[in-house]
Structure 1
Amino acid sequence: MRYSRQIILPEIGEIGQQKLQDARVLVIGAGGLGCPVLQNLAAAGVGNIGIVDGDVVDETNLHRQLLYTLKDCGNSKAETARKVILELNPEITVNAFSEFFTANNAVRIVDDYQIIVDCTDAIAVRYLINDIAVAKRIPMVYASIHKFEGQVSVFNYKNGPSYRCLFPEQEGLNAAPNCTDSGVLGILPNTIGTLQATEVLKIILEIGEILSGKLLIYDALHFQTQTINFSKNPKMIEKGIINGTLLLNTKKTETDLSPESFFEKCNQLGIVVIDVRELDETPAFKGDSVVRIPLGELEEYSKKLDKNQEIVLFCQTGQRSQAALNYLIKSGFVGVFHLGKGIDSLKNQI
């Protein structure tokens, strides 16, 4: 009865519904895009859903992230989203990962999921998702939003173009994202997230035309859409496969610090602790070893540092410090760590 209205569609039927029940989909990010994706996948009967998000619900999320209410503020997004969509559909299996997606945990989290849905807002994480997906030969359903505009595409689908083919990686930190929100119309991520969920269902059901090699751009303010075609770039595919395979086959050194490990590091002699937030961000964290170098200035500042120097990075939520960590490691630094969930995880301790 629950699925009767979609089972009667000739393109779906009972066989299609069983495909949905057997599917394993990983949703990375449970924010503006992730909420509608999760709601729609759960409602459609996707049988195994993973939710990855290290953030907590904040009041500023509520105008667009409709899985959450005011009473959820301060709680884990991943765990809260899990409870809500299980109430929507208790017949499915949902796993919550209350952590940000990083090179250290990517292999463990992705495991045997068949499709990855990119609902993040961090460019560095998208390259990581792409590389894991292309190495495992599974599709990545992508979307991003900005103010009144959004875009959707599907990468790595049946040996199709990858994220790197459309957006070649820019080296250096000036290309790294800033966590500060530039603003967004609340309904926009719900529209774009629903389009993402549609592509996921089409991939599982093997119906329709998939947005592989196509970028759909939606302008909500002027109600305009356009589709841009793009092609595979063999060099970018190869780069993604190499990066992803290294991740899959290499045991990573744990670079994400818990609050306890962070304080322990900060108290060690000879450690450089770098706050990569903007200078006006709070709460402050002070100490003899702490220097404030905004992310955009770290590239220049790093030229003064010994590459064998042990360095600890932190920001508000862990996303900018992750980008900084990735850059320093690529630049040859060998002892770099960061506060995995950012200064927000220390608010009760400083």
Structure 2
Amino acid sequence: MKKDIVQNSVAAVPPLGARGRYNRQIILPEIGQVGQQKLAEARVLVIGAGGLGCPVLKNLAAAGVGCIGIVDGDVIEESNLHRQMLYNLSHCGKSKAETASKVIREMNPDVKVTVYNQFFNRKNAFEIVSDYEIIVDCTDTIPIRYLINDVAVYKKIPVVYASIYRFEGQVSVFNYQNGPSYRCLFPENQELDQVANCETMGVLGVLPNTLGAFQATEVLKMILGVGEVLSGKLMLYDALCFQTQIIAFAKNPKAIEKSVINGSLLFNQKQVDEGLNIDAFFEKINLENIMIIDVRQPNEQPAFNEKNVIQVPLKELEKYSQTIDRKLEIVLFCNTGQRSQNGVEYLKKQGFKSVFHLEKGIQSLGKYRK
């Protein structure tokens, strides 16, 4: 994993009082020099550098949060640009995490940024979160949200959550000062692909920027110790009607216990490397008695027309998996590795023992396309 981590250190920051950048914050009685120093010393991990992650990163860097980690294994596509405003057309095809790092460091060189150019998964979760005091969940897949929750509960790290759906969004804070967790609000459903993402359902471009700003606000409030944090509360936002609603929810001891158990098992078990690089992927697909499954939608590009590949869209994998021998070795792939990773997570929970996926997806194969 370490080869995918890029650290960007900066020179020592001059005394806060000597800098004009933060003056409008510092004159607020609730912040002052002491509060600005708290921001400079804060360590925040942002998981996902897409629609939610871009405004979170931009706002945290602008506010002077001193240490920011960025986790994302995806690359920038033109379809991202209407909502992911850290990027422009010249960035297409480049790493989201690395590009976001460069942009926010140009915006504020005070910030130290650590890049994790990979998707968050069971194998790397504990190593990544170990240096941070707040996690911002900017992902769009249910299995990864539960993984973030279980790791965060076990490590006692608060999580700022948001999700979006077409013209609506929601925000909450979990695990804050021993408060409710994600599982307390959303008991786990074993179904695969429960909630559609932007790729399949669409999204108003401004919406993730609004919700990401809300997330950044909660992060700053926690660091500064001001205001009322959205712990035990879910804020619902409807952009079409410009309405907000706050729903209170309680801590569920059984949900917390399940999170702690899951986190403990994950922390203590030896992790199997489920992600395949290109060489290992081609080695697998040329072997007999291995099932190769394309979990993309029909006609997605780039095409990959190997004769032994079966196409089973992710949303149909649950039903199809009931017909597969659980002892069979399975390799999944999609475009970027995100959906195939979700498929691996699901099949593992269903008792499949040997499940792998192409870590960075078909797009990583470069010129090898048929």
Distance (whole Å) between structure 2 residues aligned to residue 294 and residue 176 of structure 1 = 15
CA contact (8 A) 2:48 2:139 kept: yes
Matched, 1:215 2:234: yes
Asked if the contact 1:135/1:245 (under 8 Å) is kept, the reply is yes
TM-score, length-scaled by structure 1: 0.97
Q: Alignment identity in percent? A: 65
- Taking only aligned residues, the RMSD between alpha carbons, in angstroms, comes to 1.4
2:131 to 112, 116, 138: 112
Structure 2 unaligned segments of length 5 or more: list them: 1-19
Contact 2:166 2:198 in 1 (8 A): no
Partner of 1:128: 147
How far apart are the structure 1 equivalents of 2:326 and 2:344? 13
Match of 2:51 in 1: 32
Please give the alpha-carbon distance, in whole angstroms, between the structure 2 residues aligned to 1:184 and 1:178.
9
User: Following TM superposition, by how much is the alpha carbon of 1:179 offset from its aligned partner in structure 2, in angstroms?
Assistant: 6.9
Provide runs of 4+ in structure 1 moved above 4 Å: 176-179
Normalising by structure 2, report the TM-score.
0.91
| Residue number in structure 2 paired with 1:158 | 177
**Size of the alignment, in residue pairs?**
350
Contact 1:150 1:218 in 2 (8 A): yes
Alpha-carbon spacing, 1:339–1:95, altered in 2? closer, same or farther (3 Å): same
Corresponding position: 1:194 with 2:219: no
Report the equivalent of 1:204.
Answer: 223
* Cross-structure match for 2:255: 236
- Counterpart amino acid of residue 102 in structure 2: K
Is 2:352 the partner of 1:333? yes
Moved more, 51-60 or 76-85: 51-60
Q: Output the CA distance in 2 between the equivalents of 1:224 and 1:58.
A: 32
Instruction: Name 2:283's counterpart in structure 1.
Output: 264
Residues 1:95 and 2:114 are matched in the alignment: yes
Distance apart, 1:295 and its partner CA:
1.8
Q: Note the C-alpha offset of 1:15.
A: 1.2
* CA distance in 1: counterparts of 2:348 and 2:188, whole angstroms: 16
Pick the aligned partner of 1:57 from 76, 87, 94.
76
Q: CA deviation at 1:296?
A: 2.4
Instruction: Give the whole-Å Cα distance in 2 for the aligned partners of 1:19 and 1:181.
Output: 40
CA change 1:342–1:198 in 2 (3 A) is same
Deviations 1:278-327 (A, max 9, x none): 22322222224311112222223222322221110111222221121111
Distance, in Å, in 2 between the alignment partners of 1:302 and 1:179 is 25
Contact 2:140-2:197 at 8 Å conserved across structures: no
SS in 2 for 1:168: coil
Give 1:172 shift: 2.6
How far apart, in 2, do the equivalents of 1:152 and 1:281 lie?
Answer: 32
> Aligned partner of 1:22: which letter?
E
Q: 1:162 to 1:195 in 2, by over 3 A?
A: same
Q: What does residue 168 of structure 2 align with?
A: 149
Label 1:178 to 1:85 Cα distance change in 2 as closer, same or farther (>3 A).
closer
Unpaired segments ≥5 residues, structure 1? none
